[in-house]
């Protein structure tokens, strides 16, 4: 039985450092909870489709789960695995909102917002994100893997440049540079190995 491995990239530590400078520990705690639930959604989908997690890599925009399986996932199965993380994020947001509505508390609403933002952000059709995986799988199914890579690569460049422009605007308005760092990482790392 192969051993599971956990790795981290420089982008993960860069974003973590930026978040420590720009955000409160309370926000970081709930963001970590939301990210863990998001990734558990992917893990559950991989397991439901007969795969196992071989390695886990923390990156600048989230985690990369490398399944260990006997066969490759079909394009449809790849879409299901990619959608499972955002679906888990939305379910957590709904649960946290219900918690806040029934029991009150700012933490419930903070978790709602963070989890919903994480799920929606990951649906952007940008290479390393879940939306990029879905776009690549759908385009590859219709036009072949090379065309899928080209379409995803082009859209990743365009949308990441748009996020960079938005990040510059946010930096000017609030002094928060985390979106700009994230966009820079996406522009630098355009491949979608997620």
pLDDT tens per residue across span 33-56: 888 899 899 999 988 988 887 777
pLDDT value at residue 71: 61
Supply the pTM of this predicted model: 0.76
pLDDT value at residue 59: 67
Q: Per-residue pLDDT for 194 more than 50?
A: no
Write out the DSSP string of the chain: -PPPEEEE-HHHHHHHHHHHHHS-HHHHHHHHHHHHHHHHHHHHHHHHTT-EEEEEEEETTEEEEEEE-SSPPPHHHHHHHHHHHHHHHHHHHHHHHHHHHHH--HHHHHHHHHHHHHHHHHTS--TTSHHHHHHHHHHHHHH-HHHHHHHHHHHHHHHHHHHHHHHHHHHHHH---HHHHHHHHHHH------
pLDDT value at residue 25: 76
């Amino acid at each position: 039985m192969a051993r599971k491995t956990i790795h981290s990239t420089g982008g993960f530590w860069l974003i973590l450092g930026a978040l420590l400078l720009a955000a409160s520990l309370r926000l970081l705690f709930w963001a970590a909870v939301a990210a863990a639930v998001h990734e558990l959604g992917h893990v559950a989908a991989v397991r439901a489709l007969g795969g196992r997690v071989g390695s886990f890599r923390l990156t600048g925009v989230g985690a990369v789960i490398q399944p260990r399986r006997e066969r490759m996932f079909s394009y449809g199965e790849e879409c299901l695995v990619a959608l499972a993380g955002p679906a888990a994020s939305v379910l957590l947001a709904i649960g946290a909102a219900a918690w806040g509505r029934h029991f009150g508390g700012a933490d419930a609403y903070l978790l709602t917002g963070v989890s919903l933002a994480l799920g929606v952000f990951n649906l952007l059709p940008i290479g390393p994100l879940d939306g990029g995986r879905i776009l690549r799988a759908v385009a590859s199914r219709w036009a072949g893997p090379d065309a899928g890579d080209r379409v995803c690569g082009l859209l990743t460049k365009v949308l990441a440049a748009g996020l960079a422009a938005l990040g510059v605007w946010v930096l000017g308005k609030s002094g928060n540079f985390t979106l700009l760092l994230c966009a820079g990482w996406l522009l630098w790392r355009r491949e979608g190995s997620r």
